[in-house]
Homo-oligomer: A and B are copies of this chain.
């Protein structure tokens, strides 16, 4: 059996994926190493998606684009292979989920362009280090996520509402969390809203559109960050003939450290 505690670097996590030993969630592995979401589209969709990301940097912070014909992310992890180094993938045809393989070598096409996108694990580590609560981690659940009534800026075939993640905290903690996450524009940055959920079109905090509900304690307010589900929802709505993403929670673990992602 795989000893997850031994996976202390991005290289070790990726090697375990490549050997087929790690096929599940990467949360908590290789602490401090930046994890990334994956989104692969045919070249015909690449400019539009990159433009969508440029127009919506908070929900879609692109860490690296791997061009058509290449499988190695030379900035995030030059030794890695995008076809084998995730625990699990999702394959979408015309916007419909068709498979969840642990290796996509057999599906690879020379016109695939790969986008590695920043993920909130990075700023959650920084918040935990600062002693701030991250309720869904305390409760061992998935983060609650909600579709809002705020449209993203469309680009070509990519469009849709902003999706947010929510973490409850006191107003003072929310202020501290704002200053901390503002330092990480590469992983969603500062919150997009705090307080009244109805102001951004959320009817019931207990019924998230994705993930699990979490407890909000007396004196706490909900704090909302732009979420990486936003571009994935836009991708599926665009219904490309084929697209590949990471499976939920099964991220790419890079060689870069979270601390390198702060602005400057």
Contacts and interface: CB of A to CB of B under 8 A. Distances in A.
Interface of A: 46-47, 50-51, 53-55, 62, 65, 67, 75, 153, 155-156, 182, 185, 189-190, 263-264
A51 B50 contact: yes
- Each complex incorporates copies of this chain amounting to 2
Given A182-B263, A263-B182, A263-B189, A54 B47 contact: no
Contact of A67 (B51, B65, B264): B51
Given A75-B153, A182-B264, 12 more contacts: A46-B47, A50-B50, A50-B54, A51-B67, A53-B54, A54-B54, A54-B65, A185-B185, A189-B263, A190-B263, A190-B264, A263-B263
Contacts of A46: 47
Q: Which 3 A-B residue pairings sit nearest by Cβ, starting from the closest? A: A47-B47, A190-B264, A50-B50
A227 to B, nearest CB: 17
A183 B263 CA distance: 9
11 contacts: A46-B47, A47-B47, A50-B50, A50-B51, A51-B65, A53-B54, A54-B65, A55-B75, A67-B155, A190-B263, A190-B264
